[in-house]
Amino acid sequence: MKIALRPWKKSDLDRLIKLADNPNIAANLMDRFPHPYTREAGENFLNMAISGQPESVLAITANEELVGGIGVHPQSDVYRKNAELGYWLAEEYWGKGIITEAIRLIVSYAFDNFDINRIYARPFGGNIASQRVLEKNGFHLEAKLKGTFYKNEQYLDELIYGIRS
Ligand SMILES: CC(C)(COP(=O)(O)OP(=O)(O)OC[C@H]1O[C@@H](n2cnc3c(N)ncnc32)[C@H](O)[C@@H]1OP(=O)(O)O)[C@@H](O)C(=O)NCCC(=O)NCCS
């Protein structure tokens, strides 16, 4: 299977809504990735993703087919040498190593294209798959904060994983 990253396109909207409308994906992400995943949410997301320059929010493809999303978000002010990483994959594609490869690609892209020296991700404490894919890409656990996230009526631990250039 050939895994690649490419810019989002307006024509991705229908497939994006179909893949992203899944409570098992939303349960592991910020509330700004909603469930149900409405057409309006999809349009707002695509407008945001397409406006970035250089592109930092990208579509993941497997054999040219859209299967998920990944983004690095450069920070500002005293955090300006850092970028936050986020990602999701359509559930039917979980467990095939796709995100492991997508993270490898975006880390190299981000260090080449942004003036940053650290990329970090903040998985929820119970999200073992996400912790594994970060570790497999050389990210280190930097901190564990107790109960800082409040998601779906529950307090969750925040794990901070980082990688340096
Ligand atoms: C997290 C997510 C991106 C992982 O995608 P994926 O394609 O299944 O990841 P991979 O197949 O590359 O790797 C998953 C790894 O976690 C392991 N894993 C998964 N669930 C596990 C569990 N409950 N316990 C231990 N290991 C687990 C797998 O065995 C695999 O490791 P391996 O290759 O060493 O065997 C996907 O589950 C997803 O989209 N989840 C919802 C959104 C999300 O959590 N985003 C990240 C927010 S920080």
pTM assigned to the model: 0.95
Q: What is the pLDDT of residue 52?
A: 80
How, if at all, do strands 82-89 and 65-74 pair? antiparallel
- As a whole number of angstroms, the distance between CA 65 and CA 88 comes to 15
User: What's the sign of the alpha-carbon dihedral 132, 136, 142, 148?
Assistant: negative
Q: Is the CB of 25 under 6 A from ligand 1?
A: yes
CATH (domain of 109): 3.40.630.30
Structural domain that includes position 46? 3-164
Q: Is the CB of 96 under 6 A from ligand 1?
A: yes
Q: For residue 134, report the distance from its CA to the centre of ligand 1, in Å.
A: 9
- pLDDT tens, residue by residue, 9-38: 999 999 999 999 999 999 999 999 999 999
Q: How many structural domains compose the chain?
A: 1
- Alpha-helical (H) ranges within 22-164 are 23-26, 39-51, 98-113, 128-136
Phi then psi for residue 3, to 5 deg, are -100, 130
Q: At what angle do helices 39-51 and 13-20 cross, to 10 degrees?
A: 120
Q: What is the pLDDT of residue 46?
A: 96
- pLDDT tens, residue by residue, 50-64: 998 778 999 999 999
Q: For residue 131, report the distance from its CA to the centre of ligand 1, in Å.
A: 8
- As a whole number of angstroms, the distance between CA 20 and CA 76 comes to 28
Per-residue pLDDT of the chain (165 residues; tens, 9 = 90+): 999 999 999 999 999 999 999 999 999 999 999 999 999 999 999 999 999 877 899 999 999 999 999 999 999 999 999 999 999 999 999 999 999 999 999 999 999 999 999 999 999 999 999 999 999 999 999 999 999 999 999 999 999 999 999
Q: For residue 21, report the distance from its CA to the centre of ligand 1, in Å.
A: 18
